[in-house]
Amino acid sequence: MYQHRSLISELEDAVRRGSQGKRVETLRRVTDLFLGGHERLSEEQIQVFDDVLGHLITRIESKALIELSERLAPINNAPIKVVHTLARDDEIAIAGPVLSLSDRLTTPDLIEIALAKSQAHLLAISKRSSLSESLTDALIERGDRDVISKLAENAGAHFSEKAYTQLVDQADADETFLEKLGLRLDIPLHIFRRLLERVTAAVRSRLLAMATPERRDDIKEILASISDEVIKPEELDRDFEAAQRLVELMQKNGELDQIALLGFAKARQYAATVTALATLCAAPIEMIQKMLNDGRNEPLLVPCKAAGLSWPTLRALLQDDLLGRAASEDELNKLKSDYIKLSHSTAKKLLEFWCEHQRSQKP
| CA 227 and chain centroid, separation | 29
Same-domain status, 203 and 93: no
Confidence of residue 3 (pLDDT cuts 50, 70, 90): very low
To the nearest whole percent, how much of the chain has pLDDT over 70?
87
- For residue 323, being part of any structural domain is answered with no
Asked if 7 and 75 sit in the same domain, the reply is yes
Instruction: Give yes or no for a contact between 22 and 69, defined as CB atoms under 8 angstroms apart.
Output: no
Q: Are residues 86 and 171 in the same domain?
A: no
CA distances from 183 to 30, 137, 223 (A): 46, 19, 15
41 shares its domain with 102: yes
Verify that 106 and 11 share a domain, yes or no. yes
Q: Is the model's pTM score more than 0.75? A: no
Q: How far apart are the first and last CA of the chain?
A: 99
Residues 111 and 168 placed together within one structural domain of the fold: no
Contact 331, 338 (CB under 8 A): no
Q: Which of 117, 148, 172 is the last residue of a domain?
A: 117
| Domains identified in the chain, total number | 2
Lowest mean pLDDT among 31-40, 166-175, 304-313: 166-175
- In this model, does residue 278 exceed pLDDT 50? yes
Buried b (16+ CB within 10 A) or exposed e, 207-230: beeebeeebeeebeebbeeeeeee
DSSP assignment letter at 318: T
Between CA 360 and CA 363 the distance in angstroms is: 8
Is 362 within a domain?
no
Between 112 and 325, the higher pLDDT residue: 112
Q: Average pLDDT of 170-174?
A: 69
Q: Based on the fold, state whether residues 20 and 94 are members of the same structural domain.
A: yes
Domain assignment of residue 326, yes or no: no
What is the domain extent for residue 223? Answer: 161-230
Asked if the structure places residue 109 within a domain, the reply is: yes
Q: Are residues 99 and 165 in the same domain?
A: no
Q: How confident is the model at residue 229 (pLDDT cuts 50, 70, 90)?
A: low
Going by pLDDT thresholds of 50, 70 and 90, the confidence category of residue 114 is very high
Confidence (pLDDT) at 17: 59
* Statement to judge: residues 1 and 109 lie in one domain: yes
How far is residue 331's CA from residue 327's CA, in Å, rounded to a whole number? 6
Q: Is the pLDDT of residue 4 over 50?
A: no
Q: Each residue of 63-89: pLDDT tens digit?
A: 999 999 999 999 999 999 999 999 999
C-alpha span between 127 and 151 (Å, rounded) = 7
- Please check whether residue 166 lies inside any domain of the structure: yes
Domain's final residue, options 187, 213, 230: 230
In a domain, 341, yes or no: no
CA distance 317 to 324: 9
Residue 89 belongs to some domain of the structure: yes
User: 115: which residues sit within 8 A by CB, 6+ positions away?
Assistant: 138, 142
Q: How many CA atoms lie within 13 A of 338 on its CB side?
A: 16
Task: Give Cα separations from 83 to 78, 135, 154, 187 (angstroms).
Answer: 7, 19, 23, 34
**In terms of domains, do 174 and 93 share one?**
no
User: Got the DSSP string for 249-296?
Assistant: HHHHTT--SHHHHHHHHHTT-HHHHHHHHHHHHT--HHHHHHHHHH--
* Residue that is last in its domain, among 210, 230, 250: 230
Q: In the prediction, which pLDDT does 243 show?
A: 82
Based on the domain organization, do 175 and 111 belong to the same domain? no
* Domain-embedded: residue 268: no
CA 225/CA 71 separation, integer angstroms: 53
Do 165 and 110 belong to one domain?
no
